[in-house]
Chains A and B, each alone.
Chain A
Amino acid sequence: MNADAVPLLEARGMTMRFGGVTAVNNVDFVLGEVELRCLIGPNGAGKSTFFKMLTGQLTPTAGTVRFRGEDITGAYPHQVARRGVGIKTQVPNVFDGLTVRENVFVAAARLHQARTARRIADETIEHVGLTRIAGRMVGQLAHGQRQWVEIAAVLAQEPDLLLLDEPAAGMNKEEVARTSELIREINKTKALIVVEHDMQFIRMIAKTVTVFNQGSILIEDDVHTVLSNQSVRDVYLGRQAA
């Protein structure tokens, strides 16, 4: 575990109940600066609910979330974002009616004047490799490209922590490889939490993996240990294989 005095993100006792169903039960989670963490688990394990509690889209029934020591439990998503958390959601949330450039511009424009924001947008688009389609309407793009647009927008926010929910979903092999490359590069300067199903992809990027099952953390360890763990195979990989 990281021994930082104040971790980047620290969640304690996170619990979420919907009516009689407990989706997430008393989860503790700590992430250090510039760390890359993958969250995996079968459908309904509570990953997405946990993710939404971190981003402010859901307010936890119990527990606290601290970002660099400051309590952000139950804050609005825009307040969470303003602390320096960039979020890519599971279903791509992009501005379909705007161009790629406009999408990224709006992200950069929160912190910067229009001129600077335009420069940052162009740099980010270049970085993610979307320059060729920068003038296209996002609604007209293929699924993989839309995912990248969303990642570019998140990057243009200049966050310290990126939360990526299934960034490789719906991508072909080539695209998955490029995305993993992109993530590793981002990780040079920023922390990331990646929720993912694709084991191939996990192997490409992961160092530490947290496994969710039935609303709790089953195991949290480095990627090789986790992937060779028998109970993980039982609850998750076994089902995937079938």
Chain B
Amino acid sequence: MALNRRQFVQIGAAAGLIAAPMINRRAYAAEPIKVGSLLDLSGPLGSSGQTMYDAIQLAAAEVNAKGGLLGRPVQLINYDTQSTIQLYSQYAQQLALKDKVDVVHGGITSASREAIRPVFDRFRVLYFYNVLYEGGVCDRDTFCTGTTPAQTVNKLVDYTLKNFGKKAYVIAADYNYGQITAKWMKKYTQDGGGSVVTVDFFPLDVTNFSATIGKIQEAKPDVVLSALVGSNHTAFYRQWAAAGMKSRIPIASTTFGLVNELATLDAKESDGIITAYGYYEEIDTPASKDFVKAIRDKFGASVPYIGELAAVTYEGFHLWAEGVVKAGSVDRMKDIVALESGISFDGPSGKVTLDHATHHTIRNAYVGKAVNKKWQVLQSFPNQAPADTAAVCDLIKHPNTDKMFVIDVK
């Protein structure tokens, strides 16, 4: 089945190659606009990268089908970073210096972003990071289009406070994203009159959670808030269900189901878990349905799950394209100015607007519940601002900032 999908990808790519010359013939300037893509397509992060790669290919194909940008076709140059940070730097240099791309969309983990962002700053390449993350990047050359904790965590915590109770136990991955998200979980819980009994951090390669499950039972919280990340951590949900805890204490998460957890876990392990994201495949709007259909048509029905990673990548690409059209150029500075002018795009997740001050997005947030290996969208919150990054970053006042702030949660 997966083989079919791979063949599909190849056929798709071949079709793109055939299509490109046709567009060229139509266009004056045959020179294509080059878009770099840096994603892990193999290795531990491969499953995240694959869905983003599907989305960016779809977006590029759509733009080309409409005659390209400024009369020029868009050419996608993709490198598989193989889940290796060294390759991120290497390929970033290659994209900037050898391929001389006009923009780069890519990076998955914050570590990969922070490895390549300086490269693009140094060699003056516009950069889009299309993943939800902990917030805090403040750099005029960079746009971050995914959700940040302020957009989703408070919705999630509000829901748990109202529906489950006031006593929370936080478990999170032991790296920046987990550390910062855990702080936001604590803050919102306390703001809502609740309390956090314990915060536990887990290195990304931990697979044995029995001790923690014991500790949670001892603490008897009303809800477990999880910011666990990656396939190793998925073991927590398995062990939680195996211990028979599933029916006793509910779980809410900002990370569960982002990639393929619903597909790999059994319904009885995942049912009832509450999450908050910028997008769910099940969102019942025409734009969302079209997007899901387009991906499945292009890459086969076996594409596991189309979540925020894919939607944000797709929207990020289109936001960039709108900026290019508005600027009438692929000149980096002109594009940045155009993108700062309040560009927005109606994507699968709803209306997405680039915020000048933070270079992040104002976008919708949703709360969903896992039901029989699908998400049931429970609530939606339109136009959420990236308040966390906004607290530390103002590129209108200080356009020369180039920093990753570690946001202090009070």
Complex contact flag A–B (Cβ < 8 Å)? no
Q: Which residues of B contact A (CB under 8 A)?
A: none
Binding site for B on A (CB under 8 A): none
